[in-house]
């Protein structure tokens, strides 16, 4: 496997998997540029990319969880707690590095906790993560005690708001983790095992796949990515308060599903999630450009989620997967 052939295969395989969704992106862009002059400006495009990057980073780990036919409803709350912890540490120590570390550790810990609930206690994923969602939510509010943390050091803020070569930094992170995600899912044995677990956990176990260990891994990764996303989010907003992160769960799940990953497991790609994040962000951006009230956004996201789920169920045709 030479270095020359590998990237070529990567491109063709992934592109084939997300073909018509990319067309949807192109179509959306065309429609939006026709509907509003403000769309095709540099500022707006970069904004869209930055937003999509944030959603993607959060949803990339979630993709792995959904690939195993699981679910992580706590990602939004995870972002909230991790961001608040990171902000507090920065405020207390003045060190952006320590703050970032705190955020990442928090994300991983929550993810690992979810993983243990699912594997050791054998709780169904949607119930387990629904429970942790509320517990983390409560802890975040209690920790912040109603206060808001402002004014983070510029070095840290660059993570979310900064540019390099005129492109927002989160966009670079997006591509980095896209590559990592594709690499993991397609080019490691662990990735192959994760797909197998989603496709048929019984057969996977009887083929020698250590199912519990892999499940614990994907939930931890989902948590870790939430931790990373929380840093970007925090850097962008430059403030942290209790309800930060709340509205992120719905778009994250929607992005994964729009991207073609099935709730029933075993089918889907990380690059699909990126395209899904793009599609979602474009729709919301279009609404902004058309001066549609921002209050409509959760509504539209919810509707898109339901449509994506319906399409998933209709194409999979599988019954009895009760989530």
Partner 1 sequence: MAAVAETLAGATRDGGGTVPLFELRDISKSFPGVQALDGVSLEIRAGEVHVLLGENGAGKSSLMKVLCGAYQADKGEFLYRGERVAIRSPSDARALGIAVIFQEFSLVPYLNVAQNIFLGREPPGRIPGGVDHGRMHARARELLHLLGLEVDTRALIHTLGVAQQQLVEIAKALSQEARILVLDEPTSALSGRESERLFAMIRRLQSQGVAMIYISHRLAEVFQIGDRITVLRDGRKVGSLKPKDTTPDALVGLMVGRKVDTTYARQYCESPGEVVLEVRGMAAANGVNGIDLVVRAGEIVGLSGLVGAGRTEVARALFGADRVTAGEVRILGRSRIGAPDRAVRLGMALVPENRKREGLALIRSVGDNILLASLKRIFPRGWFSPAAGATVAKERIRQLRIATPGTRQLVQLLSGGNQQKVVVAKWLNADAKLFIFDEPTLGIDVGAKEEIFALIDQLVKRGAAVLMISSELSEVVKVCDRAYVMRDKRIVGELSRHEMTEDSILRLAMHDG
Partner 2 sequence: MADLTLPLRGFGWERIPGAAYMLAVLSASFALVSNGFVDGTNLANIGMQSTILLLLALPMTLILMTEGIDLSMGAVLTLASVVLAAVAVKTGSVSLALAGALALGAAFGFANGALVAWLKLPPFVTTLGTMGIASGLALVITDAQSITGVGDDVVFFYAGKLAGVPVPLLIGVAAYLCTHWLLYQTRFGTYVFALGGNREALRLAGVRANAYLIGVYAFGGAMAGLAALLLTARISAGHPTAAIGMEFDAIAAVAIGGTSFEKGNGWLFGTVLGVLLVGVLRNGLNLLAVPSSLQVVAIGVLIIVALLIESVKDRA
Q: Which residues bind partner 2 (CB under 8 A)?
A: 71, 73, 124, 126-127, 130-131, 134-135, 137-142, 145, 242, 250, 253, 263, 293, 295-303, 305-306, 309-310, 313-314, 319, 321-323
Distance CA 213, CA 115 (A): 9
Pick between residue 14 and residue 241 the one whose CB is nearest to partner 1. Answer: 14
Instruction: Enumerate residues 249-268 that contact partner 1 by CB under 8 A.
Output: 266-267
Taking the complex as a whole, the smallest distance from the CB of residue 33 to partner 2 amounts, in Å, to: 26
Angle at 152 between CA 274 and CA 110, to 5 degrees: 50
Longest Cα–Cα distance in the chain = 58
Of 110, 105, 108, the residue nearest 89 (C-alpha): 105
Q: Which of 190, 237, 283, 313 binds partner 1 (CB under 8 A)?
A: 190
Q: Closer to partner 1 by CB, 196 or 258: give it.
A: 196
Residue 4 interacting with partner 1 (CB under 8 A): no
| Short-list 284, 228, 232, 221, CA closest to 255 | 284
253 contact choice in partner 1, partner 2, none (CB below 5 to 8 Å, kind-dependent)? partner 2
199 binds partner 1 (CB under 8 A): yes
Which C-beta is closer to partner 1: that of 242 or that of 266?
A: 266
Tell me the site size for partner 1, rule CB under 8 A. 27
Contact 33, 284 (CB under 8 A): no
DSSP 63-122: HHHHHTT---TTHHHHHHHHHHHHHHHHHHH--HHHHHHHHHHHHHHHHHHHHHHHHTS-
When binding is defined by CB under 8 A, the residue of 24, 38, 187, 309 that contacts partner 1 is 187
Structure tokens at 143: 């920790």
Record the tokens describing residue 300, joined without a space: 């539209």
Q: Considering the complex, what minimum distance in angstroms separates the CB of residue 223 from partner 1?
A: 22
- The closest of 82, 110, 57 to 255, measured between CA atoms, is 57
- In the complex, what is the shortest distance from the CB of residue 271 to partner 2, in angstroms, rounded to a whole number? 22
Q: Please report how close the Cβ of residue 316 comes to partner 1 at its closest, in angstroms.
A: 9
Q: Which of 7, 210, 247, 298 binds partner 1 (CB under 8 A)?
A: 210
- DSSP β-ladder status, 149-150 and 163-164: unpaired
Site residues, partner 1 (CB under 8 A): 1, 5, 9, 13, 186-193, 195-196, 199-200, 202-210, 266-267
């Amino acid at each position: 496997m030479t270095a020359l052939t590998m990237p070529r295969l990567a491109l063709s395989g992934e592109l084939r998997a997300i073909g018509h969704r990319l067309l949807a992106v192109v179509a959306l862009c065309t429609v939006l540029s026709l509907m509003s002059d403000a769309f095709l400006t540099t500022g707006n495009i970069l904004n869209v990319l930055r937003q999509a990057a944030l959603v993607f980073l959060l949803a990339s780990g979630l993709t792995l969880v959904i690939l195993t036919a699981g679910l992580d409803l706590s990602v939004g709350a995870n972002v909230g707690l991790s961001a608040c912890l990171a902000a507090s540490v920065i405020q207390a120590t003045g060190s952006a590095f320590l703050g970032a570390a705190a955020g990442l550790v928090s994300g991983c810990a929550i993810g690992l906790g979810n993983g243990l609930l699912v594997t050791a206690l054998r709780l169904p994923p949607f119930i387990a993560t629904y429970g942790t969602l509320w517990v983390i939510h409560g802890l975040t509010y209690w920790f912040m005690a109603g206060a808001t943390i402002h004014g983070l050091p510029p070095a840290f803020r660059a993570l979310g708001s900064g540019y390099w070569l005129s492109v927002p930094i989160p966009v670079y992170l997006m591509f980095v983790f896209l590559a990592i995600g594709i690499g993991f899912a397609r080019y490691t044995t662990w990735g192959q095992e994760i797909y197998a677990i989603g496709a048929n956990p019984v057969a996977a176990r009887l083929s020698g796949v250590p199912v519990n260990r892999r499940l614990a891994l994907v939930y931890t990764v989902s948590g870790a990515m939430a931790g990373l996303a929380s840093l970007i989010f925090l850097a962008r907003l430059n403030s942290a308060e209790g309800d930060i992160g709340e509205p992120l769960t719905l778009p994250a799940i929607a992005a994964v599903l729009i991207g073609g990953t099935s709730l029933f497991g075993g089918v889907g790609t990380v690059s699909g999630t990126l395209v899904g994040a793009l599609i979602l962000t474009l729709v919301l951006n279009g609404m902004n450009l058309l001066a549609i009230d921002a209050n409509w956004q959760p509504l539209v996201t919810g509707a898109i989620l339901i449509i994506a789920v319906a399409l998933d169920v209709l194409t999979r045709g599988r019954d009895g997967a009760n989530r």
